[in-house]
Structure 1
Amino acid sequence: MFTTEANYKESFAKAVAHLSTQDMPVQWRIKAVDDLIEVYVRQVGEVPDGDQLERLTNYILRDSKNQPDKVSNTEYPVFSEWQQKHRSRREVPLEYVGGLPVEAKRVGIRLKHRHKQKRIA
């Protein structure tokens, strides 16, 4: 299937494109992608191209991108790096929430700035 004499990268790209068109449950997708990569590494002796690995990853995660409320619908949601940073900026420890005035809770004044003001004053 993937031999070093032939254009193995192009044939792997075609195999990835064909696999990406298949509609199957997530567990089967993971197994199919894993098997395809194992066959490639066994026959060629190197890891597939990063672009093809990204296409395979997107194929596995295809359904998870269309969940607008994945945090409340999933037990362990997967956040992107941007989502994790954004969430950590918005979260406030419960011990600090009781001391904030009602206006700060409504408007969303950042707690970090309140602490700086308290230290300066």
Structure 2
Amino acid sequence: MPQLSFGPVEVRFFSGQNWSNLELAWITARKQGLAQRETTLRCAFRSEHLLDIAGTENHDDALTVNGTTYFGRYSQGADGVIHALSAAQVAARALRIEAMQQGLKEAHRAAVAITGDVHFLPNHT
């Protein structure tokens, strides 16, 4: 676990199970056995959004839907822990976005048909 110590203050960073953790600790009587006291604030975080954008394609995890192949994504942290999204998760997101875009296009066409105003929605096509 990487850590930095500044007198009684210690900063630690570690990862596990798709979560990264940052700890800020106040330690008194360091290395004094039972006399040592510690107060720690821990922040656990993960970003599947960042993994989706910046992760590496995992060609061992593939899923083909309607002729399009989706690959899982992964990233390895500084401490060696691998964070991952499955191909099914990547495909589900892509298909959801595609369905939303199609729905917006259909809604725009319907609005234009009813109102005759091509500027009814932004980014008209």
TM-score (norm 2): 0.31
More strand by share: 2
Q: Which has the higher helix share?
A: 1
